[in-house]
Structure 1
């Protein structure tokens, strides 16, 4: 493959991944495009799911879907480059490098990429006494949330898993120095890491007044709000909540609970932990 053809291939791949626009790539030198291409491929190749038992199945499924999507795009890109070479070879006047790229743009409109809006980064900043969450997607879009709870209303479980993966990739088990990142890190670890009975957080429901118990349907997470903090939990996972705490939760009732299988199983699980016999 010639340098010109390779440039077309890499530009097309970067464009379809949602990281660059063709108009931006035209302004870059070949070496710069190659560097961005290799950087993206490395990110994909080095993706390793977090080894947490409770999320292993979801992460494995996510990885398989991502690899399938990449393979599909690879086949599409290879076909487009092959078709472009054939059309360029038959041109009586000979196309310039820019014309070739524009030809690829016309022949290969950006496909609907279900992974283009994957969570790619996050930022947390203070506005008054509030922590503002900015979520940046791989396609360049970003959304600002006034609270973690507001973010969960909009997040899918896949979004939540990806955010957890990114936070753990950056911090691991090392407690972040930044107070805002530390709260996010703690909330995500409470949800995804194997819960321990001796963790101090599980004694808080009996030490503080319980304010509310809320369910987030889109990501299947429930939140127990106490006087001084929130405890976020995955709806399909059992946590070491005490019998007394579960009894109080059931008396408060589950806010925004949906009549679906996941929510129903959550209520049954809490009833069992509370010792309710039916």
Structure 2
């Protein structure tokens, strides 16, 4: 309501006190319509920067369906089957989920899951280097996401890569940027040292979403600031 009052032809509160209710209501309606037109135009413009996609990525394996809120993540390990390796995420109730790559986790994680995993991996590898290639990738993705530093190679080499796609994982509030030779995962509310050129390419490629959501609109507004 405050937004509409601000748009009511510059009237101050003391001026409104001198007017009849019907007159104030008419002014409010005009302000409301103007704001709605403005909001509808902005929504239409933002929709043009999104594209809903059918998920064709390989789904996670050995997933145990969990209730409304899954128990906390208490650990992870690398599980090997023949020549393939997977992340096995272990929860407090003893159940586990297995994923081939990090992006598969993001489809079923909420923000608490993501933060729990980050704290666990950070506690183990903040002062030592991962041995397994998958753990090295996992720690690199999480560190870039939660602890971005402008001097990191991933940010310094942006100018050398083209944006291939840009996707939102709504359940955990993460968006991923796939560029040539690199994939970057970012929290939707956090600023990262993305160059103007990279930001332009992201918007040109459009944000890939599974469905329209308030988070998608807010992310686009945040990126366009």
* Aligned mate of 1:124, from 63, 78, 81: 78
**1:132/1:116 CA distance change after superposition, 3 Å:** closer
Counterparts of 2:183 and 2:84, CA distance in 1: 15
Please say if residues 122 and 134 of structure 1, whose CA atoms lie closer than 8 Å, have aligned partners that are also in contact: yes
Partner of 2:162: 209
Question: 4+ residue runs of structure 1 moved beyond 6 angstroms?
Answer: 113-116
Is 1:199 the counterpart of 2:152? The answer is yes
Q: Kindly state the Cα deviation for residue 116 of structure 1 after the two structures are TM-superposed.
A: 6.8
- Aligned pair count reads 159
SS across alignment from 2:212: coil
Counterparts of 2:167 and 2:121, CA distance in 1: 24
Structure with the higher fraction of residues in helix conformation: 1
Partner of 2:135: 181
**1:138/1:234 CA distance change after superposition, 3 Å:** same
* Aligned mate of 1:260, from 207, 213, 221: 213
Question: TM-score, normalised to structure 2's length?
Answer: 0.64
**1:122/1:262 CA distance change after superposition, 3 Å:** same
Counterparts of 1:132 and 1:124, CA distance in 2: 6
Partner of 1:246: 199
Question: TM-score, normalised to structure 1's length?
Answer: 0.53
Partner of 2:87: 133
Q: Which structure's relative contact order is higher, taking Cα pairs within 8 Å and 6+ residues apart?
A: 2
Please say if residues 247 and 271 of structure 1, whose CA atoms lie closer than 8 Å, have aligned partners that are also in contact: no
Is 1:153 the counterpart of 2:115? The answer is no
Structure with the higher fraction of residues in strand conformation: 2
Please say if residues 153 and 216 of structure 1, whose CA atoms lie closer than 8 Å, have aligned partners that are also in contact: yes
SS across alignment from 1:165: helix
**1:163/1:267 CA distance change after superposition, 3 Å:** same
Please say if residues 154 and 182 of structure 2, whose CA atoms lie closer than 8 Å, have aligned partners that are also in contact: no
Partner of 1:34: none
Q: Kindly state the Cα deviation for residue 214 of structure 1 after the two structures are TM-superposed.
A: 0.6
Any stretches of 5+ residues in structure 2 without a counterpart? 1-66
Decide which structure has the larger Cα Rg and report it. Answer: 1
Q: Kindly state the Cα deviation for residue 132 of structure 1 after the two structures are TM-superposed.
A: 1.6
Counterparts of 1:121 and 1:226, CA distance in 2: 30
SS across alignment from 2:216: helix
Partner of 1:225: 178
